[in-house]
Amino acid sequence: MVTHAGHGTVIRALANGLPLVCIPMARDQPDIAARVVHGGAGLRLAPGASVAKLHRTIERVLKEPHFRESAQRLERAIRQETEADRAVAELESLAARRVGVA
């Protein structure tokens, strides 16, 4: 996936195990791109990167297996995180403690 590194695009790509080439433009995008790189799931380019550099970077992300492996590892983590409704469990736990305190 080639993306501007917006949260929605990045999370959907990672939730499907897809490695990324991030070209952040503004706001939180540089931070999100840095997290993708840190997680090993892709690479970051500057907005003014040449077409040749973009092509080389895409080739690298597609050919080097560790990018896809990292994206798939993050896919599993996202799936695990979203399988259970943790918010409900936390609220029930807080309510139970509150009732026990009263």
| pLDDT digits 0-9 by tens, 6-35 | 999 999 999 999 999 999 999 999 999 999
Averaged pLDDT, 39-66: 98
Nearest to 43 by CA among 54, 94, 14, 97: 54
For residue 92, pLDDT over 60 is answered with: yes
For residue 102, pLDDT over 70 is answered with no
71 with 17: CB under 8 angstroms? yes
Cα-Cα-Cα-Cα dihedral sign, residues 57, 69, 6, 27: negative
**At residue 87, does pLDDT exceed 70?**
yes
In the chain, where the domains are located = 2-101
Predicted local confidence at residue 101, as pLDDT: 57
- Per-residue model confidence as pLDDT tens digits over 65-85: 999 999 999 999 999 988 877
Residues 6+ away with beta carbon under 8 Å from 66: 40
Q: Exposed (0-12), middle (13-18) or buried (19+): which is 63, by Cβ within 10 Å?
A: exposed
Of the CA atoms within 13 Å of residue 1, those in its CB half-sphere come to 24
pTM, full prediction: 0.81
Q: Give 2-101's CATH code, choosing from 3.40.50.2000, 2.40.128.630, 3.40.50.12160, 3.40.50.150.
A: 3.40.50.2000
Asked if the model's pLDDT at residue 94 lies above 90, the reply is: no
